[in-house]
Amino acid sequence: MQSNVLTAVFLPIALGIIMLGLGLSLKIDDFKRVVVYPKAVIVGLSCQMLVLPAVCFGVASVFGLPPALAVGLMLLAASPGGATANLFSHLAKGDVALNITLTAVNSVLSLFTLPLIVNFALEQFMGAGQVIPLQAGKILQVFAIVLVPVAIGMTVHAKAPAAAQRMNRPVRIMSAVFLLLIVIAAVLKDRALLGEYFRQVGLAALTFNVLSMSVGYFVPLLVRLPKRQAIAIGMEIGIHNGTLAIAIAYLLGDSQMAIPPAIYSLIMFFTAAAFGMVVARGQTEAPPEPAASV
């Protein structure tokens, strides 16, 4: 699969389907719920947008990653959580309503914070003379691919909730399939160097993944949030929208930057499952919340 085909066809389709699936599970109340969970939302967004980039920068620096791979790992820190986080949070008996709210708010805010973090990473790891500018047109392209499908999904949910419910499962399955295809394509693109990339970034990606979930889980507990909300934030911060990170990497014109998000996307399913099994112990199932949109 050539880079131009991946960039022009498969990435927009994959992102569109994933964001459509997110929109089908969202409604306006999910944004209004910020008022219901102000402390939890502030803690979650602070961990996601402030702590996580710093942790990722530290991991990339400590492991001495090559510039392109370091920037690729930072792309993950800048990317919001995905709908998959909602599923893992549900299985781990977390607060799924909080997950949905964080995903909704963070997906919008990341469209503004992502360029800042990416340009910082390019400056720090590739040098001022090698910075690849994230042009306004490219930002608008991602903005459209992310927000338009979400708006369509939310409109369907509002106007035809029964239809949205019927579409939800097939779209989620398609999202998972496309995510897998994108990860495979990104890996195969540089398959000759795959072993070397795993050697260089595999342990760093695993470390960043474990630290992400740890920050997302223990920081809320330290500020005395309920365990269910800590589980939700841990999943939200540990499970990133890898497809978006890979898309940005190809928009920047460097396929090597797509390798860390691809490897991370493979790792996070196993670590999220293990994390969920550990934190779910002794956790009782809470009654469903009427405001939740799952």
Domain assignment present for residue 286? The answer is no
Q: How confident is the model at residue 243 (pLDDT cuts 50, 70, 90)?
A: confident
Give the CATH number, domain containing residue 216: 1.20.1530.20
Residue 291 — very low, low, confident or very high, per pLDDT cuts 50/70/90?
very low
Tell me what pLDDT residue 293 has.
Answer: 37
283 lies in some domain: no
Inside any domain, residue 282: no
pLDDT band at residue 11, thresholds of 50, 70 and 90? Answer: low
pLDDT digits (tens, 9 = 90+) for 35-53: 777 899 999 999 998 999 9
Please state, in angstroms and rounded to a whole number, the distance separating the CA atoms of residues 290 and 89.
17
- For residue 182, is it within any domain? yes
Instruction: Convert 103-140 to b/e letters by CB count within 10 Å (16 or more is b).
Output: bbbbbeebbebbbebbeebbebbbeeeeeeebeeebbe
Cα(231)–Cα(138) distance, rounded to whole angstroms?
A: 34
Report whether pLDDT(263) > 60: yes
Q: Is residue 290 part of a domain?
A: no
**Candidate ranges 122-126, 132-136, 171-175; pick with highest mean pLDDT:** 122-126
Q: What is the DSSP string of the chain?
A: --HHHIIIIIHHHHHHHHHHHHHHT--HHHHHTTTTSHHHHHHHHHIIIIIHHHHHHHHHHHTT--HHHHHHHHHHHHSPB-HHHHHHHHHTT--HHHHHHHHHHHHHHHHHHHHHHHHHHHHHHH-GGG-----HHHHHHHHHHHHHHHHHHHHHHHH-HHHHHHHHHHHHHHHHHHHHHHHHHHHHHTGGGHHHHIIIIIHHHHHHHHHHHHHHHHHHHHTT--HHHHHHHHHHHHSB-HHHHHHHHHHTT-GGGGHHHHHHHHHHHHHHHHHHHHHTTTPPPPPPPTT---
pLDDT level of residue 292 (50, 70, 90 thresholds): very low
Q: What does the pLDDT read at residue 2? A: 43
The pLDDT of 108-137, averaged and rounded, is: 72
In a domain, 95, yes or no: yes
Rounded CA-CA distance 167/17 in Å is 11
Could you tell me the residue range of the domain that residue 259 belongs to? 3-277
Query: pLDDT class for 151, splitting at 50, 70, 90?
Result: confident
Cα–Cα distance for residue pair 75/249, rounded to 1 Å: 8
The closest of 104, 123, 1, 92 to 44, measured between CA atoms, is 104
- The answer to whether residue 219 is domain-embedded is yes
Total domains in the chain come to 1
Summarize pLDDT for 186-234 with one digit per residue, the tens: 666 666 666 777 888 889 999 999 999 999 999 999 999 999 899 999 9
Give percent above pLDDT 70 in the chain: 76
Place of tokens 């709908």: 83
Residue 292 lies in a domain: no
